[in-house]
Structure 1
Amino acid sequence: MSRRGPLACATVMVGLVASGVWAQEKPKYGYKDTPMLPGGKWHVHDSDRPLPPVITPGTASTQDAPGSAPSDAVVLFDGKDLSHWKSDRGGEAKWDIRDGALVIHPGAGAILSRDEFGDCQLHLEFASPVPPKGADQGRGNSGVMFFGRYEIQVLDCYDNKTYADGHAAAIYGQHPPLVNASRKPGEWQTYDILFTAPRFKDDGTVETPAHATILHNGVAVQNHAELLGPMAFRALPKYRKHGPAGPILLQDHGNPVRFRNIWVRPLNHG
């Protein structure tokens, strides 16, 4: 029996691969002989259906430091500047940045994101002023509004009673949160919100209303809640037709609430 050296063996292997003897075919997965899914575009387990894009997930925040955003997110505030924001009164945003946090400057007015979004996932973190001042709606009050009009309430609700549909994580004036998951004043809190924008018919009537699912500090407090319309104070909301995308608004309600680690992921439906 003859013995071949390493070089000879390597030469034989290269030749076999080149000739296709050892060539590996592309792995096969999925099926084409299965029922068609609704819409008539893809089969169940369709081998031709595009695979989800690969992203890098973000990291979790701690009380001492914010986490990072997913790689496909639009970062609206990373602790450095206000370049992604403008004033609702026109011109540059006039809130303050202190120790990596975006701080409401009372009386400066609301700020709007320069980017606009439709269906999206929003993450933001906020901390109520410490020591706490005021009570009811006058304590750590702000809000985040999709399209500049659909409000999720921001409020210090740690040992602070207020009306249910004005509570922290309420869809303001419409749906109280399922539970009060508020942390103490001064501690960082998180909102993770899945927002589905409303759709309108050509005549301006609502085809499908907006919906929101909210996690407050990791706790589900709104579960695909249907919005009755835009924010309204002491009134019933009423939808008015608008475009498919709009800005994120942070409200100035006169309290120096802090924000950090704000990012948005547009949700595209394939």
Structure 2
Amino acid sequence: MTKSEQPVLVRVTHRFAASAERVYDAFLDPAKAAKFMFATATGRIVQCEIDARVGGTFSIVDRRNGEDVAHVGTYLELERPHRIVFTFSVAKYSTDADKVTIAIAPLAKGCELTLTHEIPAKNEAMKARTREGWTGILEVAGELLVDDAPTCGIGVAQHATIPAKIAQMFEGLAETFELHRKMLVATDPNTRREDDVYRELATTWSDIARRVHDAAIAMRAQRDLPVGAHDPSAWSDAHLRAFEKFVDGERQLLASLRVATERDEAALLSLQGEG
């Protein structure tokens, strides 16, 4: 095999607050895998069939805007709880069958998973998008897979994923505002006012994105926070109301994001077509 024919390796690492056994089993359990494997924001998994044995196959179908996208493969190696190797293809987009290796290393608390996806050299341009896809899958899995009695530190770290994604969204918003300024025609009488608005918004959202990102990083770093003594009698209705407010915000965010994502994905496809 020449250098130009060698596959491109995409590696993603994620630390889980769950045992190696629990994480390994989740990838082979249809009920659990359907919640994180290949699911998209605006789609839903309508089929998840897994024949968990060497030579067995899997088929996971995500319905996106009324269209079914099947992700299929064959298991090449299964070594509980350390290693899963399988082929992977999405016929809608390519006839290539890639190779994916999942290595799971037990830790004192939880485990660390390293996923390596081998993509054909001709598809090297997809490297960043492939990494982004698997990163999202593992982050969703991290939300799902937690040992039965997580510590406060683990709980804080687990809640870092959503702020991190929100920071990414705000950063993209700031960049969009800033780039829009370059399109303004200086001779137009309305340009200065519009430019002022976009400049101010770009600066504000960039600062918010940085602060939210830094907070998410700080949360994620608390996974090994020592467990302190707690006084159960200090619990009050205020604690419950605060968490209810947080969960209600999540519900409303989810509902709004589904609508906004469908709208903005359509706009993105249009822009990509123009490009």
Fold-level similarity (TM above 0.5): no
TM-score, length-normalised on structure 1? 0.24
TM-score, length-normalised on structure 2? 0.24
Which structure has greater helix proportion?
2
Which structure has greater strand proportion?
1
Larger relative contact order (CA 8 Å, sep ≥ 6): 1
> Which has the greater radius of gyration?
1
